[in-house]
Chain A
Amino acid sequence: SAVISQKPSRDICQRGTSLTIQCQVDSQVTMMFWYRQQPGQSLTLIATANQGSEATYESGFVIDKFPISRPNLTFSTLTVSNMSPEDSSIYLCSVEGAEGRDYGYTFGSGTRLTVV
């Protein structure tokens, strides 16, 4: 399965600043997904990022707040802009695994963000 390197693993940020999270995959993938997991909650899809086109955002998420880049088939970034304490969450990127009966979507190790 794909190996994802996500960084930073954690950060503490000041209110009003922005943080860019990077996701590097060891193989070319068509789609990359960004999720948010608020404290004690399940995962919610923020957007789907395809190379060469704008990301597709889910209801409740907007590009101005969560701009995404996808410059090539192995890399993507998610920026959390103008942060507030409500943005404190774990952010995870995900890619579809290799073909096969037992493949699953692989997730990065997550970025634990605390906004103070």
Chain B
Amino acid sequence: AQKVTQAQTEISVVEKEDVTLDCVYETRDTTYYLFWYKQPPSGELVFLIRRNSFDEQNEISGRYSWNFQKSTSSFNFTITASQVVDSAVYFCALSGSGNQFYFGTGTSLTVIP
């Protein structure tokens, strides 16, 4: 079964704080892809990052960083020095042997000025 769990429903942080969004996944596929998307209040889905199951190299891109741990089936996302513009719903997603995406239920992040 394919499943993505984002246990954090809502998070509030004060501007400039760091925040980590958790994502745990389940899959029987040996090759799969993990994604993070951002959905601001306007509704569009903005692609942030994609990782395949053979690439556990963690990455930092500006204020964003990702921590992919196959041993714990986790793909966490950290925003450093958060800003008000980071306020959005963040979705973690999994794509396995088919083309279907399995989305988590999303984490609503509010950055308080």
Contacts and interface: CB of A to CB of B under 8 A. Distances in A.
Interface string B42-65: 111101111000010000000000
B44 A107 contact: yes
A92 B106 CA distance: 16
Contacts of B37: 104, 107
Interface of B: 35, 37, 42-45, 47-50, 55, 91, 95, 99-101, 103-106
Q: How large is the interface on A (under 10, 10 to 19, 20 to 34, 35 or more residues)?
A: 20 to 34
A45 B44 contact: no
Given A42-B105, A45-B100, A48-B99, A104 B47 contact: yes
A33 B99 contact: yes
Given A110-B43, A110-B44, A112-B43, A45 B49 contact: no
B91 A42 contact: yes
Contacts, number: 54
Interface of A: 1, 31, 33, 35, 41-45, 48, 58, 90, 92, 94, 96-97, 101-110, 112
A31 B61 CA distance: 30
A42 B44 CA distance: 13
A103 B44 contact: no
Contacts of B42: 109
Nearest 8 pairs between A and B by C-beta? Answer: A104-B47, A107-B45, A109-B44, A104-B50, A42-B103, A110-B43, A43-B103, A42-B105
